[in-house]
Amino acid sequence: MELNPHILRHHHITLNVGSAQDDYDFHTKVLGLKSVKKTGLYDGNDPIYHFYYGNDIGEESTLVTCFPMRQSGRKGRPGSGQIKTLALSVPVSSLVFWAKHLESHGFKPEYQERFGEKLLHFAHPCGICYELVGIADDDRKPYSNGVVPSGFGIRGTHGITVSVRDLENSSEFMHYGWNGTRTNTDGRFTRFEVGNGGSGAVIDYQLEPDLPQGSWAYGEGTVHHCAFEVADLDVQRNVKLHLEGLGYTDVSDRKDRGYFDSVYVRTPSGALFEATVSKPAGFTVDEPFESLGKSIQIPPQLGARAQEIIAYLEPLKY
């Protein structure tokens, strides 16, 4: 079978979190990420915030995006068939700092090791698992607002962990559908890497055969999807056709997400992946670089409802 060599690295990962304030404080005041954009999720009748966090310019593979779901009252059900863990890259020399920093904010990080990488495992306030993985040679530029010293700052995504009840179908998808190279396994975790590999290109599958199926709908406490960067719209179209040609028919049409264009695929594990192309203007399409993330951006098609939407959403203290 023909491989698909066009999946480059992570673009962003999107989470269903709890309260807007808890999430904003966690990412900006604890993890020290930049608020790159505040906008909304407008699928359905009631608006929900959509927060984007990353480095100074919101570069691909530095982005964590969040839907605060508590206002809607919708709860997710963690389980198999989901992305369960988000791992972020930090300098390996910073892990002692991060352990003390997290503890000082009431978190309980645990030192762990996987495939020779030292990491801290802890949880987002809504319960989603996070890891800070010590990497020696990640040249992505961190954001620093003084919360975290620049030399210790988060470089971007490192990897995701997907919970599966068996590995065979996911392994086939990663190899033939998503150009992943299997690089390691310990029997419990199996690692694939896309593109040039390394931090920002890792997908781990965790074998949990007795774990019940988790939910797929929007709901607090679960990861919604992981997006992967592809070079341009032609490549994105070819990815869609390639997947459909392999028989993966649960592939969406292209969707305009304002700052990028997206094609989604429900993978055999149940986890939702996305092939993503950034718009040329990126996050400056609706506000200048100097103002990124400082105010709520309402999409043009909903401009007439802007004040109504802003009044409806949970008030946020910056």
Query: 41-75 burial, b for 16+ CB within 10 Å, e for fewer?
Result: bbeeeebbbbbbbbbebbbbbbbbbbbbbbbbebb
Please compute the mean of the pLDDT values over residues 295-301 and round it to a whole number: 83
Separation CA 128–CA 184 (nearest Å): 24
Count other Cβ atoms within 10 Å, centred on residue 247. 8
pLDDT for residue 10: 98
Percent of the chain whose predicted confidence (pLDDT) is above 90:
88
pLDDT for residue 98: 98
Look up the pTM and report it: 0.96
> Is residue 3's pLDDT more than 60?
no
> Is residue 291's pLDDT more than 50?
yes
Domains detected in the chain: 9-312 (3.10.180.10)
**What confidence category does residue 101 fall into, taking pLDDT thresholds of 50, 70 and 90?**
very high
pLDDT for residue 4: 57
pLDDT for residue 147: 87
Q: What is the pLDDT of residues 220-272, one digit of tens each?
A: 999 999 999 999 999 999 999 999 999 999 999 999 999 999 999 999 999 99
> Is residue 154's pLDDT more than 60?
yes
Residue type, 233: L
Please compute the mean of the pLDDT values over residues 76-86 and round it to a whole number: 97
pLDDT for residue 1: 47
pLDDT for residue 126: 98
Q: Which of 74-88, 141-155, 196-210 has the lowest mean pLDDT?
A: 141-155
pLDDT for residue 298: 85
Please compute the mean of the pLDDT values over residues 58-82 and round it to a whole number: 97
Q: How many helices (H) and strands (E) does the chain have?
A: 5, 16
Separation CA 300–CA 202 (nearest Å): 36
Count other Cβ atoms within 10 Å, centred on residue 103. 12
pLDDT for residue 302: 75
8 A C-beta contact, residue 136 and residue 199: no
Q: What is the pLDDT of residues 11-23, one digit of tens each?
A: 999 999 999 999 9
Separation CA 276–CA 280 (nearest Å): 13
Report the mean per-residue pLDDT for the chain: 94
* Interstrand relation of 63-68 and 9-17 (parallel, antiparallel or unpaired): parallel
pLDDT for residue 306: 83
